Amino acid sequence: MYLKWILALAAMAAATGYTMGRAKKMENKQETVNKWFTSHCYLNGLAAYPHDSVNREAFYQHYQKHPERWDATFKFLRETNLDSLPVGKYKLLEDDVVVSVTEGITRPMGNTRWEFHKRFIDLQYIYKGREMMGAAPIGSLTPTTPYDDTKDVGFGDVNGGSYYEMDSQSFQLFFPSDAHRPNIAVAGNDHIKKIVVKIKLD
């Protein structure tokens, strides 16, 4: 009986130690991610910063996997004269990084839609003007339009979500785990110049 009690205590101690060890590892990993994210070292001098709402762990993991895609993206935003850059599409790394430059009018919220992507990450940067963008976990989206693999886009409805007013000081990153709702007008400012960078996931 005494031996069984000792063995049970030892098993409990081992399980507790394992759980605490895992928790400590997760805590250390999160600390590493946060430190990297807030250091902005990956921007190499780019004046615009990622918005605080960005999924930091997804960004960190993808940057570690494909640093060349992110470096090409940030170099383009840092070194290109965005004032004179014509509307159009530009390939930075073949089909791995594609930039779309648009100018136009934002829309009332009721005329915008929630969307999602599966094969590409969206970097959305409002270079001129202001725009409201919505974001929500992909699990909260109810599809209303079938996903189009050719265009890498699907649409749906979200009950709720968070909204952020964006300008030239920061950019948003939307991963396949995020539903997003772009192009929403901000009162008093509806003309924008926008840079969207499509960064291949795999």
Q: Domain residue spans in the chain?
A: 1-39, 45-200
Place of tokens 């992909």: 138
Residue 50 bridge partners (DSSP): 171
Quote the CA–CA distance of 184 and 202 in Å, as a whole number. Answer: 30
C-alpha count within 13 angstroms, C-beta hemisphere, residue 82:
24
Provide the edge-to-edge strand list for the sheet that holds 141-148.
141-148, 153-158, 114-116, 178-184, 131-137, 162-166
- Which residues partner with 125 through β-bridges? 171, 195
Predicted confidence at residue 190, as pLDDT, reads 85
Residue 201's CB is within 10 A of a number of other CB atoms, namely 18
DSSP conformation class of 46: -
Q: Are 159 and 46 in contact (CB under 8 A)?
A: no
What is the b/e burial string over 56-68, where b = at least 16 CB atoms within 10 angstroms of the residue's CB?
A: bebbbebeeebee
Residues in CB range of 162: below 8 A, 6 or more apart: 53, 134, 135, 136
| 45-200 fold | Jelly Rolls (2.60.120)
Per-residue pLDDT of the chain (202 residues; tens, 9 = 90+): 565 656 555 555 555 555 555 555 667 899 999 999 999 999 999 999 999 999 999 999 999 999 999 999 999 999 999 999 999 999 999 999 999 999 999 999 999 999 999 999 999 999 999 999 999 999 999 999 999 999 999 999 999 999 999 999 999 999 999 999 999 999 888 899 999 999 999 9
Q: What tokens were used for 71?
A: 């470096």
